[in-house]
Structure 1
Amino acid sequence: MTVNDPCFIFFNDSIAHHSLPESFTFPFYYQPHPICIQAAEQLQQTMLEVNPWQHNFGLDSSTDCGMVIGKMFGVLVVKNTQGQLGFLAAFSGKLAEQNILPPFVPPVFDMLTQDSFFSVENKQINQINQLLHQHESAPLLANLTTQLTQQQQQAERELEQQRNAIVEGRKQRKQQREQADTALIQADISSDEHKTLSIELSRQSVLQKHQLNALKQQWQSQITATQTQLNELQQQIKQLKRQRKQLSNSLQKKLFAQYQFLNTLGDARDLNDIFNDAPNHLPPAGAGECAAPKLLQYAFKQQLTPVAMAEFWWGASPKSEIKQHQNYYPACHGKCRPILAHMLTGMQVDADPLLINPGKDLPIDIIYQDEVMAIINKPAELLSVPGKNIIDSVFSRMQQQFPNATGPLIVHRLDMSTSGLMVIALTKEANKNLQQQFIQRSVTKRYIALIEGVPDQNEGDISLPLRVDLDDRPKQLVCYEHGKHAQTHWQIFKRQGHRTLVHLYPKTGRTHQLRMHCAHHDGLNMPIVGDDLYGIAANRLHLHAQYLALTHPESGEAMVFEVKADFE
C-alpha cells in the first residue's frame, strides 16, 4: 500500500481527539464511531454535496437527470502500512450508471468491463430474448392459436348438433317401433312389413352413428393439422427458453465465482461457496455489490488494516423501505450477513448486541390479576416470547409466575422495544375468549409515542400495506402488491418543541405497524424517537401500549386499564 493510492482518503481535519475503537464494528447493529462520523461528513461535504456525476439523488428539485435514486454509502477507517489513518469510501450498486468512480473503491468484480465474459455471454442471452420475442409475437402463432380455438369450438357445436339429432332420431324410431308393434298386433300390417320397417329403422340408427364418427374424424383431422403446426412453433419457443435458462444459469454461476471475498487470514471464498447453505443455494440479487463488502475487500487486497466502519443513506427516501437522508444504517442481513461473516473471520469484532438480553434485570409489573387472567406492564427491551437466542421473555416469566396456569398465557404480543399493557390468559377458556375479542377487534388499544417532528394536522388515518423485507429481516416494507392491509388512526396528545406526543390506535396488528406508519414518508414521515430500525437509536424506543379496554372473559364485565409511559 502506498500513500498515493487514489482510494485512500486522508482526513482534512485533525483526528487526534478520537480514541480508536478496541475492536471492529459489528456491522449489523451499531452506533457509528465518532471517527466514522467525521469520515462520512467529509465525504458528504467534499463529494456528495458537490455531486460531480449529476446523479439524481432527489434532493434538488431543479435537478432533472433521470430517475430519483438514493444511495447507501459506506466509509471504512483504515490504517496503511506506514501507520497513517485515513478512510475508504464506497457506494452500493452503481452510481450514475457506473461501477467505477474515483475516489470510491472499485467493485469486487466489474461485470460492465467491455468484452468481459459477462458482456459476451449476456449478449448471447439477449439475442435469444430477441428471437423469443420474434417467435412469440409472430402473426402465424397468433393466427394458429385463434384458428385452433375456433376449430375446437365449431367442432364441439357441430358434434353436439349431431348428438342431439341422434337422440331425437332414437326417440322417433322408438315411437315408430311401438306404433308398428301395435299395428302388427291389430293386424293392420303384415309381419313382412313389420320386419322391413324394423330393418329400415336399424339402418337409420347405424347411419347416424356413422355420420357422427365421420364428423369426428373430419374435425379431428383439421384440428390435428392445426395443432401440429402450432406445436412446431411452440416447441421452437420452448427450446429457446431452455437454451436461455441453461445459458443464464451457467452465466450466473460463472459470475458468482468471480466475486471472491478475502478475510484478514487471506482465505478467499466466492458467492457460490458462501451461499451454499442458503435455502435455494443461490445468492440473492445484488449480493456482493453493497458498500460494506466492497470496502473490506479493497482493504484486505491493499494490506490496509480496518479500524471502524459505518454506512449511511444519501438522497430521497425510497418508496417502499424507510431510509432517511444522512441517517446511518447497519448492513443488510439477506445479502451481506453471510459474506461479512466470512470476511470478518480472524478479526476482533464488537459483540453482537442481539445476543445480549437488555431486559434481563427489568421487572414486570402485574397491575391486575384474578383466577383466569392477568394484565401486566411489559418493560421496553423485554421479549414477549422466547427468541432464537434469548429465552428470557414475558412468556418464560409468566410460566414461573403462574405454574398452575392451564392456558397458553400469551394472548397477543408487543415488540421487544415497546413497553406497555399485555393480557395474560391463565386458562384455556379465557385464552379462547380473549383471542376472539382481539380477532373481532372489540378490544380497544391505544399507544402513546414521541415522534420526531410536529404534524400539520391534529389527527388522521394512515393506511399502508406491509410485508417483511426478505433481504433485511425483521424490517418491514410498504408493498401494495404483496403487503397485508395495515391501518392506524393517530391524534396529537401534546406538542413538545420540535417533537410531538401522539396517541396511536392500530386498527390492525401488523409487525412494526406503528413504527412504519410513523416513519414512512407516506405516513407521518416522523419516526418514533429511539427507533433503531426506522429512525435514530436513543435510550429506548418511545412507544408505549398505554390503554387497554376489553371484556372480562368469564364475567363479561367491561374492563379498562391504563398505565402512563415513562417518557410522557
Structure 2
Amino acid sequence: MHSPEHCFTPFKANIDAFALPERFNFPFYYEPHPLCLLAAEELQQHLLTQADWQHNFGLDADQGEDSANAIGKMFGVLLVRSPEGEIGYLSAFSGKMADQNLLPGFVPPVFDMLTEGSFFLTEQVEINAITHRIEALTTDPTAVALKKALKAEKHARDEALKTHRSNMVEARKVRKALRENSAALSQEERHELKQRLSQESVIEKLQLRDLKLEWEARVNQLQTELDALTADVAPLKQERKDRSSALQKKLFAQYRFLNINGEEKDLGDIFADTTQGVPPAAAGECAAPKLLHYAFKWGFTPLSMAEFWWGISPKSEIRRHKNYYPACQGKCQPILTHMLSGMDVDENPLQHNPAEGKSIDIIYQDDDMAVVNKPAEFLSVPGKMVEDSVYLRMKQQFPDATGPLIVHRLDMSTSGLMVIAISKRANKSLQKQFIQRTVQKTYTALIDGVLTQDSGQINLPMRGDLDDRPRQLVCYEHGKPAETTYEVISRTDKHTKVRLYPKTGRTHQLRVHCAHSLGLNMPIIGDDLYGVKANRLHLHAETLELTHPITHEPMRFHVDAEF
C-alpha cells in the first residue's frame, strides 16, 4: 500500500508569491491554476529525467522507439494541503503505464486488480481457459474442413437453384409464345397444346421442389456433422458471458470512492442512475478520481486540479502533447459528481449564457426566409442549461413565422451565416437543398501553424465520442464519411489563414479535420476542445450560396470574418 509520504510532492520552487485558489476548480471546464501549472511542469521534468521505469510515449523516434507501439498518457496533478499544513501536489496517470498500476511517486489505483493472487486475475485465468476451449473447438481441423465444405455446398445449392429458376423463366416465355401463336391450330390441337404446356409447368415446379429437397438434405448432413463437433461451443460461450458479467459486477463493487464527507460509493451505485445504467469500460481508472480518492483517504485537502496529455496522440482522438484537458464526461462525470459533493467548487461556466449582451445581424430578409450573421459563442438552438439561442431570437423577431426557423446549425463557438426558414413552404425547399448538398458553404479559419501545401482535401470519417461528448473521434470502422477541401489564404510566421469547403456537415468536422494528425495537424486558434482556448474560436461561416426557396433565384451571401 502506498503511504501518503510516498505520493505527496513538495514544490521544488518557492511558491510564497502564489495565491492559493479560493475554490476547487470545476473539473469539466477550467483554466489551470498557476500552482497547478507549476506542479505539472515539475512532473513533466520528472517524466523526462526519471530512470525507474520505461514507457514508450512516442516522443523520441530518434532513439529507436517503435511509434506503432507508442502510447501517450493523460496525467493529473492535484494541488493539496497536507495534514501538516504543507502545500504540495499529488500526481497520477490514467489507466496503466509501463504495464503497471503502481509506480513510484504516483498515487495508486482505487482498486488494484493486478495485485498478485487477486480474485480478478484468478477468475480472468478461468475465463481465458474457456476462451481457449472455444478456440480449440472452432479451429479443429475437421471442424474447419466441414465449415469450408458447408460453405461450398451452400454456394453450389444456390447456384443450382438459380440456374433451374432461370431455365423455368425461359421455358415460361416459350410456352407463352406458343399459346399466343396457337390461333391457327384446330380446337383439339389447342386443347392438347394447353394440356402439354400445363404439364410441363407442373413438372418444372416439381423438379424445383425435388432439387431443393436434395440440396437441403446434403447441406443438413454437413451441418449435423459440424454441430456434433461444435456442440459444446454455445454453452461454453454462455458460460463465458455469465462469468464475465459476474466478474465485472464484482469488480465494480471493489471500486469505492470517497468524498470529503467520508461518504463512500462504488461504481455500481454511482452509475445506477445514469442513462447507460452500468459503468463504461475503465471507469475509475482516470487520473482525476484516483487523485481525489487518495487525498480524501489520507487527509489531504484538495485545492485545485489539472490534467495534461503527454506523448503521441491516439489514432482516433485528438490529444496534443502538453495540452491541458478537462475530465471526461462519460466515465468521470458521475464519479466526480459524488466525489466533489460537499466541496466548495467553482460554478459550471457552461450554465452562463454566452449570448448575453450580443445581438444577431439580419443581412437579408423577405416573407419566406432570412439570412443572419451569428456571433461566436452563441447557441444555434437552446441547450440543456441555456435557452438563449438563434432560434429564440428569431422566434422573437418573427412571432408569426409558420416555418421551424432553424434549417441548419453552426457550432456555438463558430460565427457566421445561417439561413432561417420563416414560412412553412420555404422550409421544405431549404431542407431539400441541404439534404441534397446543393447549398454551398465556405468557412474561414485561422490555424495554429504554418501550412506548407497551398490546397488539398481531407477525408476522415467521424463519430461522436460516447465517453466524452461533445468531442468527436476519427473512426474508420463506425464513423460517417466526412470530406473537406481547403486552400491557403495567407500565412504568418506562426499561423495560417485557410478557406474551408465542407462537402459533408458532420459535428465539429472542420475543427477535427484541422486538428487531427491525419488532417492538417494544426488546430484552429481558440479551439478549447481540440486545441488551446483563446479569446474565441477562429472559425467563421463566411459564404452561403443557395437557391431562393420560392423564386428559385440563385443567392449568394458573404460576411468577412472578424479575424
TM-score range, shorter chain: 0.7 to 0.9
Contact 2:157 2:215 in 1 (8 A): no
Which residue of the other structure, out of 504, 517, 542, is the alignment partner of 1:508?
A: 504
List runs of 5+ in structure 2 lacking aligned partners.
168-205
Q: Which has the larger radius of gyration?
A: 1
Contact 1:488 1:507 in 2 (8 A): yes
Whole-angstrom CA distance in 2 between matches of 1:228 and 1:534: 55
Q: Distance in 2 between matches of 1:234 and 1:17?
A: 72
Confirm or deny: 8 A CA contact 1:132 1:240 kept in the other structure: yes
Tell me the distance in 2 between the aligned counterparts of 1:451 and 1:218: 64
CA distance in 2, matches of 1:224, 1:45: 68
User: How large is the Cα RMSD of the aligned pairs?
Assistant: 2.7
Q: Within 5 A, what are the aligned runs for 1:149-168?
A: none
Q: Is the 8 A contact 2:28 2:326 kept in 1?
A: yes
Counterpart position of 1:311: 307
Aligned to 1:36: 36
Note if 1:54 corresponds to 2:54. Answer: yes
Q: Specify the code of the residue in structure 2 equivalent to 1:69.
A: I
- Shift in Å at residue 243 of structure 1? 1.4
The CA distance in 1 between the partners of 2:510 and 2:214, in whole Å, is: 67
- Which of 114, 139, 144 aligns to 1:112? It is 114
Task: State which drifts further: 243-252 or 439-448.
Answer: 439-448
Counterpart in the other structure of 1:432 = 428
Equivalent in the alignment of 1:235:
231
1:538 equivalent among 534, 537, 543 = 534
Find the partner of 2:403 among 383, 407, 418. 407
**Structure 1 residues 225, 426: closer, same or farther in 2, change over 3 A?**
closer
Letter in 2 for 1:113: T
Aligned to 2:80: 78
Q: 1:225 to 1:35 in 2, by over 3 A?
A: same
Note the C-alpha offset of 1:416.
Answer: 0.3
1:356 alignment partner, one of 330, 333, 352: 352
Q: Find the aligned partners of 1:377 and 1:115 in 2 and give their Cα distance.
A: 64
Query: CA 1:85–1:454 in 2, change beyond 3 Å: closer, same or farther?
Result: same
One-letter identity of the residue aligned with 2:139: S
Whole-angstrom CA distance in 2 between matches of 1:69 and 1:128: 30
- For 2:19, the equivalent position in structure 1 comes to 19
Work out the CA distance in 2 between the residues paired with 1:100 and 1:333.
Answer: 25
Residue by residue, what CA displacement relative to the aligned partner does 1:394-420 show, whole Å, maximum 9, x if unpaired? Answer: 001101100111111112111000111
Structure 1 position 119, deviation (Å)? 1.1
Alignment match of 1:343 (pick from 330, 339, 346): 339
How far 1:18 sits from its partner (Å)? Answer: 1.6
| Counterpart check, 1:456 vs 2:452 | yes
- Matched residue count: 515
Q: How does 1:484-495 map to 2 (within 5 A)?
A: 484-495=480-491
In the other structure, the counterpart of 1:324 is 320
For residues 51 and 386 of structure 1, do their structure 2 counterparts lie closer, same or farther at Cα, with a shift above 3 Å needed? farther
Q: Deviations over 1:102-146 (max 9, x none)?
A: 101011111111111111111111111111111111123234546
Write the deviation string for residues 173-229 of structure 1: whole angstroms up to 9, x where unpaired: xxxxxxxxxxxxxxxxxxxxxxxxxxxxxxxxxxxx9xx99xx89996x98776555
CA change 1:99–1:64 in 2 (3 A) is farther
> What code does the residue aligned with 2:311 have?
G
Q: Distance in 2 between matches of 1:422 and 1:472?
A: 28
* Greater mean alpha carbon deviation, residues 149-158 or residues 521-530: 149-158
Change (3 A) 1:217 1:354: closer
CA displacement at 1:374 relative to structure 2: 0.9
Q: Which residue is 1:498 aligned to?
A: 494
1:84, CA displacement in angstroms? 0.5
What percent of counterpart residues are identical?
59
TM-score, scaled relative to structure 1: 0.85
> 1:151, 1:219 within 8 Å by CA — same for their partners in 2?
no
What is the distance in 2 between the residues matched to 1:562 and 1:383? Answer: 21
Deviation, structure 1 residue 148: 6.3
User: Structure 1 segments of 4 or more deviating over 4 A?
Assistant: 49-52, 143-158, 216-220, 222-229
